[in-house]
Homo-oligomer: A and B are copies of this chain.
């Protein structure tokens, strides 16, 4: 058994995704292919990086995660293989793996240069299909990653906002907005450890003020803006049975501040 996942910005239902699956199944018909998402906004490397960081760790050890958000396709940017935690990744080296690598340094990075493992005809505009898909299929059949090319020292890293922590204050950022309109921050459960999360904590975001952090969505009246720890262990702002992003008009990148008096 082996698993290949796909994460792209091609859009749900894109035939480009199907072309990648056709290439993979032609080389390894028995592999299990799972779509992580194809809804990364076009060319938004950071959004892809956040999805990979949040989801791929849930898959069986040794799963191969192919990620394609690749505005620089056909230019000098490298394509890489990387082992991070118990998972394996194939992606353009443009920062797409940098959120994962921020938390956990890669154990092995290899630059893809050996064309014998690629499709015979490689287009200049679709390396996901012509390079990453066949390489993923061959890895899933047991190919040694060392044969793909030379090792690399490190991945291209994007800069990510840093959470600033003092005894009375935590300053973070709205990192993303999920499909329910919930506002997900980069403030994690661990950062809150040992601090009161009841009415004594005051959370500010845009023009909004919230007191206390809840455990669940469902206990407050519909329409209430609440702060809670979400299923990934991050602080999140949500409107009960509503869409916080739309109702509050708060965008990604907005600062979030927690203070204790």
List the interface of chain A (C-beta within 8 A of B).
1, 3, 5, 10-16, 18-19, 21-23, 25-26, 29-30, 32-39, 42-43, 51, 54-60, 63, 71-75, 77, 123-126, 129-130, 178-180, 215-219, 228-231, 233, 241, 243
Among B14, B125, B228, point to the contact of A230 (Cβ < 8 A).
B125
The reply to whether A124 and B216 form a contact with Cβ atoms under 8 Å apart is: yes
Among B10, B26, B125, point to the contact of A58 (Cβ < 8 A).
B26
User: CB-CB < 8 A to A35: which residues of B?
Assistant: 13, 18
The reply to whether B123 and A71 form a contact with Cβ atoms under 8 Å apart is: no
Measured in the bound complex, the distance between the Cα atoms of B57 and A33 in whole Å is 19
The reply to whether B74 and A215 form a contact with Cβ atoms under 8 Å apart is: yes
Among B178, B219, B228, B230, point to the contact of A75 (Cβ < 8 A).
B219
The reply to whether B18 and A218 form a contact with Cβ atoms under 8 Å apart is: no
Q: A35-B18, A230-B123 are in contact. Are A216 and B75 (CB under 8 A)?
A: yes
